[in-house]
Structure 1
Amino acid sequence: MASEIQYRLGIDIGGTFTDFTLVDTENNTAVGVKTPTVPLHPEHGIRNGLELLIRDCGLKPEKLDYFVHGMTIGLNALLQRKGAKLALFVTEGFRDILTMQRMRLPVPYDFRSRLPEPLVPRSLVFGIPERIGADGAELVPLDIKALDMAAEEALRAGAEGIALCFLHSYENPDHERQAAERLAQKHPGLKLCRSSALWPEIREYERASIAVINLYIQKNVEAYFENLKQVLAEENVAVRPFITQSNGGIMNLDSAAAAPVRTLFSGPAAGVIGAIHEAGRAGEGNLLTFDMGGTSTDISVVLNGEPTYSQSGELAGFPIVIPSIDIESIGAGGGSIAWIDKGGLLKVGPESAGSDPGPACYGKSALPTLTDAFLLCGYLNAARFAAGRQPLDIGRAKSAVRPLAEVFGKEERVLADQMIQISVANMYAELSNIMERKGFDPRELSVVAYGGGGPVTANFVAEEIHAKDVFVPFRPGTLCAMGALSAAFVYDAVFPNRGGAASVAALRERFYKLREEAEKWLESQNAGVTDGMPAAVRYLADARYRGQSYEIQIQITEDMLSGADCSAIEEAFHKQHQSQYGHFERDAEVELVNLRARITARTPELPAMAVAPAETRRAAPGETREIFLKGKSYSAGIFSRESLKSGNLIAGPAIVEQDDTTVLILPGWHGVCDAFGNIRIVRDEEGNQ
């Protein structure tokens, strides 16, 4: 039962570190730790973290009764193109579906830009005689003999799995179902994926891509799950983990193994959920999440406490139509490498040193990275980095930066400061494009800084984009792991409404069937943690004016479905279209392309861990340290995060140190600690006098 859950463990595997958050709900305590990610064997990083928690935090693994895990296994397999060898079966005449894609250049103004190479070569794409019409009627029966011959040829060529994407199978999946049953009968154990079962929507290329990606990464994900189970068994962890999804929800291990494509943005999505949870407690609902790790920085916009979703995402050049939290990735992280381009200009990133070999100050390489620059400028405490488990070598950092400094005739510290400012400028350029494209005003948003590098960089970024303020959660370095623990079960059931609905009654019936499907999915999760907590279902529709190519999503309420006609639904669409595009066409016909039911079952609330009130307003630094910032030297107060009390004010320039990250407060800004230990960083004119 939900009330019996005491020990909860959240884990997130990042490109550089694997983060752990352990919560004891009975004693109202939480600890966060980080261990280096082991790229080739990420389960070893989990073993290392568990042993660290056992040794330093007194964890008894057998007492763990709730375990949520975010991962990048599928994502890495896709990005590195190290997935399974596949065949794709399509309707005869459509063999080039993956090659032609959408016939659009990746960069419209660059005729040399090229579409990504398909994950399935044309030689392994087979056209099968069959045809379903757009209305779902069978036009040509499935040719079983041709299906068998294609399967034999695919297997001789070494195919490990077969994806099925027949024309209009979203409307009538019978042929895909018949083909899958035949293939399973003839070739037991062969991996199969039906596009209509995974995501039954219109647009053949997108549906084929998502089916291929799902099957392509499945072998890697399943192998990892087996290794993970072995590690957990060896460490006496009996509970099976839930896995975080790209939509910010969680699901059980079996669901994740069957549909690993739903986990592609698993870790970043959990971070957004964690940011919403922590900032929501402090009364903030309009956020720009800023998750900076060793390899990249992920950002997302949250409005009124709700994440923004996208179904038109892209990864490695391929469309990702599975509902995901809308997250943009910027190629800048603590491991970003500094270099000189052909024109003699200093550049930082996007190539990263990752966790292995890592920045020069880690002691394994001579690569000058952003983390080395932070160290040389005095922002980082070499002895306390990663709770002292990763001591930093300032001598190696200087040696790595020196060749670049000599080229420009500068001392190492000055060059390091310029590296930081170049990286911030790169982030500002990327953010400006995103802000213009999405149409949000940063002056209304709090920048939520987390990840290992977020709190040391976010104040720079907030100053550049004129954000309202910066919000630093109490445990920012492990917030993605905390977010996994606060995530709900989330599932989208979808119905392709290609033929439209004759009446509100017909729409209502379809939505209620989708609700039943979503509720069955929730039952299948064996989610005992949600016992006694009612699930919520939202109805959504992808709508457009007839003739448009793309849709916008609107919410459908019970009141709309109980009306005499569809006028309330149409009015909601007009209003949403006006909000997003600045105009609407009241006389144009509104088309509902897809209907959805999204079920959300919340897990028990994490305990609020308050800090004691401060006796004095202005916090006293434990020491001072010289830092170099924007070409000037400053004496910065150094504070320990654990010593800050509710109401304490920290005047910038200042550095707040903690085991999982470092918080930098710029001159002209100040930080205020709230009742939960979070730090809000605001401009001085907002009242620190």
Structure 2
Amino acid sequence: MNARTRLAVDIGGTFTDLVLTLPDRALPDRILTSKVLTTHDAPEAAVIAGTTAILAEAGLTGADLDLVIHGTTLATNALIERKGARTALITTAGFRDSLEIAYEHRFEQYDLYMERPAPLVDRDLRLEVPERMAADGSVLLPLDEAALLDLADVLKSQRIEAVAISFLHAYVNADHELRALELLSAALPDVAFTISCQVCREIREYERTSTTVANAYVLPLMGRYLGRMGDGLAGIGVGCPLLLMMSSGGVCTIETARRFPVRLVESGPAGGVILARRIAAQGGYDRALSFDMGGTTAKITLIDDFTPQQSRHFEVARAYRFAKGSGIPVRIPVIDMVEIGAGGGSIARVDALRRIAVGPDSAGSAPGPACYDRGGTAPTVTDADVVLGRIDPDRFAGGKITLRPDKARQAVADGIGVELGMQTREAARGITEIVDETMASAARVHAVENGKDTANRALIAFGGAAPLHAARLAQKLGIRRVIIPVEAGVGSALGFLDAPIAYEVVRTVLIRLSAIDPDLIGTLFRDMRAEAEAVVRLGTPDGHLTETRTAFMRYRGQGHEIAVKLDDVALDPVSLQAAFEAAYERLFGRIIPKLEIEAVTWTLSLAEDTELPAGVEDPPAVNAGASAGTRSIIESATGETVNAAVHARSALPPGAWLDGPAAIIEPGTTTIVPTGMTVRIGGGGELIIEAP
């Protein structure tokens, strides 16, 4: 995407971030950034207001924009808050309860009060129709079209806005789903329909149905939102294409986003990981940990060999923070990350055991932390950071929001200090230590679940709150190097600008390797390529495309598969077995001889061709010069009060270095360098914090 003037917009739970790039102007690669408070009732309002302001700052009009790239948490929030459309599910007779039966296990075995998340569709709106496909795709019972059409009256009477259709074994033979869509969409033209064979053409009934329902649930909401966004941008003269960030790390056209909004779940955080990948490549950090902490949540991702971990399974709205199986599963291409309810707006309280607890609920942008002086009274992480001296109240968000330190102290004192008999400053330190340890614990668990560790990695931190907490998080994880990118406060939006236009197609074809027909699999991949290319070419008609093929394979009898890259692998049984055994041995240290191997699912990803940036050499060391003053800061690790040197990031030249304690200020965030650490400016302008 080499458009000349581009705008990236990331809507978060607290702030909406904007990045405007202006290459080809007097200042090459000039970037303007802005943060505005998110308007939750009408998220597009903050986008339009922010866009108008940043264009005015650049001396441009909406007509000067060549491309807008947008990421949003709207789909995620609708699923979490249960604010989607009134949705019905139509499924094979006898299988209406699959959505509620789920995995048939307890995700918290010893919790007597464990509660499963309620399905998005109530039981009385899960409707059945006589039809049945066999596992091989043959028709056991034809679709009862008369019974299907009878359901149209039920859907009308229940004022249904969206319908999910998921029939048994439709991933093999989609004829019944396609016919049901044809009949019902004609009878109910104002209802939004989603069918499983288009959203998730994969084996496993529960996950496929859950993904289909989730897509239907947010489909009308996202359609209306994208319509309002388009109208709002047009109203300020923007006529360029609008692309949407997906959870996979690629971007798609607005047409694709309207059809498959479930692919936008985690779209904002995915942009941040794309930025972290670029920073890792520039610095040569082949083992990195991406750390994104904003106003509402923190996100952590492992990056190895400059490639973030990918997954095809994600859970939204987990009832238990780290408990797998406690959320709504969706099978979509997604960057594998752990998300924690730990952001600047996360609310602190004293729990029943008289411990400080932080999050996952957030004060958001309205009313916001107490120091925002917008009606919030509960103590938050941002309030604690203000009390500890980490944030300059007059320069927060580039000076656009003036903070009230007295309100922050009052909230921390009333909410934590008085309750526990602690001084206000020590209560604030307790809040930050708890939130930092929560994030560190999540990172450790995520690494262990993937057979990896956090030590000897570079921590790449961005987001408005991350640079405030990154050094302490690194200490807890045994990490010795922290990198803060340029314009870290709007890191996810920056990442949007590096994301390729991409799309992934998935097909389940369960087959033993001994019975593989190379021609059959070759035809399968050609068909998948055609489907993916039809989508990608909407956004890049002439660009060069990179194709990635993957098979999900297992030993016969196992319940789960591993991903096996097939880009340079012939499709014959011997080559596929060798590729599987190499991947299996890398993961588990050994193979299992004499067991049959089978392939379950095949994926093809097609993306606009992009290259990682070349490494940037470190500039020669120079002195940072005199500071702009000092600030009294209470350090998390020791609780001691220190005088930290204050520097404006824009005043530090490449190669500049200084010792902690220090606070480095920029419009979108502040970086805290503790005592005993040093910081220097790298060749790409990044801050590199190192422990001895």
TM-score interval, smaller chain:
over 0.9
TM superposition shift of 1:597:
1.0
1:373 corresponds, among 358, 370, 384, to 384
Match of 2:678 in 1: 670
Q: Does 1:402 align with 2:416?
A: no
**CA pair 400-221 structure 1, distance change in 2 beyond 3 A:** same
Match of 1:510 in 2: 524
Aligned positions of 1:175-194 closer than 5 A: 175-194=176-195
TM superposition shift of 1:485:
1.1
Match of 1:679 in 2: 687
Q: What SS does structure 1 have at the residue aligned with 2:444?
A: helix
1:329 corresponds, among 324, 328, 339, to 339
Q: Does 1:363 align with 2:370?
A: no
Match of 2:107 in 1: 106
**CA pair 182-406 structure 1, distance change in 2 beyond 3 A:** closer
TM superposition shift of 1:110:
2.0
Match of 2:626 in 1: 620
**CA pair 184-574 structure 1, distance change in 2 beyond 3 A:** same
Which structure 1 segments of 5+ residues have no match?
none
Counterpart-to-counterpart distance in 1, 2:349 and 2:195: 46
**CA pair 614-22 structure 1, distance change in 2 beyond 3 A:** farther
Counterpart-to-counterpart distance in 1, 2:286 and 2:626: 31
Look up the equivalent residue of 1:521 and give its one-letter code.
V
Counterpart-to-counterpart distance in 2, 1:615 and 1:446: 21
1:654 corresponds, among 662, 666, 670, to 662
Q: What SS does structure 2 have at the residue aligned with 1:443?
A: coil
**CA pair 463-162 structure 1, distance change in 2 beyond 3 A:** same
Match of 2:641 in 1: 633
2:398 corresponds, among 380, 383, 387, to 387
TM superposition shift of 1:239:
1.1
The question of whether the paired residues in 2 share the 8 Å contact of 1:611 and 1:646 is answered with no
Counterpart-to-counterpart distance in 2, 1:407 and 1:120: 42
The question of whether the paired residues in 1 share the 8 Å contact of 2:338 and 2:443 is answered with no
Counterpart-to-counterpart distance in 2, 1:178 and 1:480: 41
TM superposition shift of 1:355:
1.1
Match of 1:33 in 2: 34
Match of 1:24 in 2: 22
Q: What SS does structure 2 have at the residue aligned with 1:430?
A: helix
**CA pair 410-130 structure 1, distance change in 2 beyond 3 A:** closer
Counterpart-to-counterpart distance in 2, 1:340 and 1:420: 14
1:444 corresponds, among 451, 456, 469, to 456
TM superposition shift of 1:617:
3.3
The question of whether the paired residues in 2 share the 8 Å contact of 1:106 and 1:114 is answered with no
TM superposition shift of 1:408:
3.5
Match of 1:201 in 2: 202
Counterpart-to-counterpart distance in 1, 2:106 and 2:421: 42
Counterpart-to-counterpart distance in 1, 2:297 and 2:520: 47
Aligned positions of 1:100-179 closer than 5 A: 100-179=101-180
1:471 corresponds, among 465, 469, 483, to 483
The question of whether the paired residues in 2 share the 8 Å contact of 1:486 and 1:605 is answered with no
**CA pair 604-591 structure 1, distance change in 2 beyond 3 A:** closer
Counterpart-to-counterpart distance in 1, 2:339 and 2:539: 34
Match of 1:244 in 2: 245
Give deviations 1:501-531, integer Å, cap 9, x for gaps.
Answer: 53333323322332222222222x2425xx4
Q: Does 1:271 align with 2:284?
A: no
TM superposition shift of 1:370:
1.0
Look up the equivalent residue of 1:488 and give its one-letter code.
P
Counterpart-to-counterpart distance in 2, 1:90 and 1:168: 11
Look up the equivalent residue of 1:25 and give its one-letter code.
P
**CA pair 620-573 structure 1, distance change in 2 beyond 3 A:** farther
Give deviations 1:570-595, integer Å, cap 9, x for gaps.
Answer: 12212222222333212111110011
**CA pair 514-468 structure 1, distance change in 2 beyond 3 A:** farther
Q: Does 1:578 align with 2:585?
A: yes
Look up the equivalent residue of 1:32 and give its one-letter code.
T
Q: What SS does structure 2 have at the residue aligned with 1:498?
A: strand
Match of 1:229 in 2: 230
Counterpart-to-counterpart distance in 2, 1:621 and 1:84: 55
- Segments of 4+ in structure 1 off by > 4 A? 603-606, 608-615
Computed over aligned residues only, the root mean square deviation of the Cα atoms, in angstroms, reads 2.0
TM superposition shift of 1:411:
2.7
**Could you tell me the percent identity over the aligned residues?**
34
1:546 corresponds, among 530, 552, 556, to 556
TM superposition shift of 1:123:
1.0
The question of whether the paired residues in 1 share the 8 Å contact of 2:14 and 2:295 is answered with yes
Counterpart-to-counterpart distance in 2, 1:87 and 1:393: 48
**CA pair 24-40 structure 1, distance change in 2 beyond 3 A:** same
The question of whether the paired residues in 2 share the 8 Å contact of 1:644 and 1:677 is answered with no
TM superposition shift of 1:128:
0.9
Paired residues in the alignment total 674
The question of whether the paired residues in 2 share the 8 Å contact of 1:574 and 1:586 is answered with no
**CA pair 101-612 structure 1, distance change in 2 beyond 3 A:** closer
TM superposition shift of 1:82:
0.9
Match of 1:83 in 2: 84
Look up the equivalent residue of 1:13 and give its one-letter code.
I
Counterpart-to-counterpart distance in 1, 2:443 and 2:275: 21
The question of whether the paired residues in 2 share the 8 Å contact of 1:442 and 1:468 is answered with no
The question of whether the paired residues in 1 share the 8 Å contact of 2:199 and 2:260 is answered with yes
Give deviations 1:397-418, integer Å, cap 9, x for gaps.
Answer: 1111222323334332222122
2:600 corresponds, among 593, 596, 613, to 593
Q: What SS does structure 2 have at the residue aligned with 1:560?
A: coil
The question of whether the paired residues in 1 share the 8 Å contact of 2:569 and 2:579 is answered with no
Look up the equivalent residue of 2:684 and give its one-letter code.
F
